[in-house]
Amino acid sequence: MNEIIKKNHRIIFHVDMNSFYASVEMAYDSSLQGKPVAIAGNVEERKGIVVTCSYEARAFGVKTTMPLWEAKQKCPQLIVRKPNFDRYRKSSQAMFNVLREYTDLVEPVSIDEGYMDVTNYSGTLTPFQIAEEIQNRLKIELLLPCSIGIAPNKFLAKMASDMKKPMGITILRKRELSKKLWPMKVQEMHGIGTKTAEKLNTISIYTIRDLAKGNDYQLKHLLGINGERLKKRANGEDNRPVDPDSVSEFKSIGNSTTLPKDTDDERILEQTIEKLATSVSARMKRKSVVSRNIQLMIRYGIHHTVTRSRKLANPIEAIDQIKDAAMFLMKKHWNGEPVRLLGITAQELEEKDDTFKQLDLFTFQEDLKKEPLQKALQDLEDKYGKGVIKRGIKNQNTTDPNSLARITTSFQKDFLE
């Protein structure tokens, strides 16, 4: 059990906190220990949605995103708490501080999970003993349970941490893939959602083994470059380093357009921004990335260009979200003069697989409602071409001072800042 990986191979941990929000509430209120607990943004039964719940609640069939009224039908004794993000942020910081006592190579990927590279750990403990000690310390010192995956790379460590919950420690070696990983359904693989799984099913890929043995040409034709990447992951290949600075990496995807003629027509400018947001969103989705910063470029003449950006509380990829951020910047920084060129750039990109949207519980239900619509619109444009669906645009004579922007503010601040 202590012999993990051959020398010269990396030893990567994925530490995943169990039912984090609910566990933090239990840590602060001992009377909740061992009871079915749910966190919901709106505690009114008709409107509330379960954001997370304890394992005791899950035993009754309560699930994340379930309407609160339904959750209470399944578990009448369910205890519901409103979120306390300041409390969750402090617990997250304390958790990562413990991890950093074992190695400097700690990469947070969300408020409740992160990677560790302990390859060069200089102590006397074996990797499994390190994991045991971390798990015990988090449970005793912070009263927070976690599961830990141990593997030679980030992907396998992530898959391993999901195999035993709560309070599990799982080792996943490459030589064990055929036994532990490949029998799993393809939709259970990290990085594959329902839509991608359905596409893979069309070429008779139902398990991770099928994907690992899949035809390269079929996968590339079906999923593009992502097909090749997923096949490599299914075969246990992942060379990504554990990077403590990855949260501040600068990457970007942008698009700009020169208008047929300089204009100060607000309707035309809004339509142009929507087209740019659609283009940027499509490119982001193809690359499976999300953005934490949207930049708007406004050019009035040959030598007069203004560039402004908006830091986002939550990572985004959807057309409406990109448009909203750009329109906010437009309203704030456009001086009213005729515009020659507009450009939108999505900055601070992150791989979607490794990104966690810190839930904004004031818009959580709205996000859930929008997701099927966004997928339907994207599917229609993929099938019939861009422009098949025209979105409504507000009357430019509106007296609403915010007519150029629908601003969404998040309850949470980015815990990594």
* Digit-coded pLDDT (tens) for 74-116: 999 999 998 888 899 899 999 999 999 999 999 998 889 999 9
Does the pLDDT value for residue 213 go beyond 90?
yes
pLDDT reported for residue 41: 72
Does the pLDDT value for residue 248 go beyond 70?
no
pLDDT grade, residue 366 (50/70/90)? low
* Digit-coded pLDDT (tens) for 333-349: 999 999 989 999 998 88
- Residue list, annotated binding site: 16, 112
Q: What is the mean pLDDT of residues 179-196?
A: 93
Does the pLDDT value for residue 137 go beyond 70?
yes
pLDDT grade, residue 286 (50/70/90)? confident
Which residue would you say has higher pLDDT here, 242 or 371?
242
Q: How far apart are CA 212 and CA 232, in angstroms?
A: 7
SS3 299: strand
Does the pLDDT value for residue 129 go beyond 90?
yes
Q: What is the mean pLDDT of residues 324-328?
A: 95
- Residue 38, burial from CB neighbour count under 10 angstroms (0-12, 13-18, 19+): buried
pLDDT reported for residue 375: 54
Which domains are assigned to the chain? 1-176 (3.30.70.270), 182-234 (1.10.150.20), 247-384 (3.30.1490.100)
Joined together, the tokens standing for residue 202 give 């069309």
Give me the active site residues, please: 113
- Which positions ≥6 away from 15 have C-beta within 8 Å? 95, 99, 113, 114, 115, 116, 134, 146, 147, 148, 161
The answer to whether residues 263 and 338 touch, using CB atoms and an 8 Å cutoff, is yes
pLDDT reported for residue 385: 54
pLDDT grade, residue 275 (50/70/90)? very high
Q: How far apart are CA 101 and CA 103, in angstroms?
A: 6
Which residue would you say has higher pLDDT here, 354 or 167?
167
Q: How far apart are CA 210 and CA 361, in angstroms?
A: 38
pLDDT reported for residue 416: 41
Does the pLDDT value for residue 386 go beyond 90?
no
Does the pLDDT value for residue 387 go beyond 60?
no
In this structure, of 98-102, 147-151, 255-259, 263-267, the range with the lowest mean pLDDT score is 255-259
pLDDT reported for residue 360: 45
Q: How far apart are CA 192 and CA 178, in angstroms?
A: 19
pLDDT reported for residue 220: 92
pLDDT reported for residue 414: 34
DSSP for residue 341: E
The answer to whether residues 216 and 226 touch, using CB atoms and an 8 Å cutoff, is no
pLDDT reported for residue 354: 56
Start-end of H helices in 162-306: 194-201, 208-212, 216-223, 225-234, 266-287
Does the pLDDT value for residue 351 go beyond 80?
no
For 348: left if phi > 0, alpha if psi spans -120 to 50, otherwise beta; the answer is left
DSSP for residue 204: T
Does the pLDDT value for residue 377 go beyond 60?
no
Query: Token pair 């209470």 is at which residue?
Result: 72
- Residue list, annotated binding site for Mg(2+): 16, 112
pLDDT grade, residue 43 (50/70/90)? low
* Digit-coded pLDDT (tens) for 152-173: 999 999 999 999 999 999 999 9
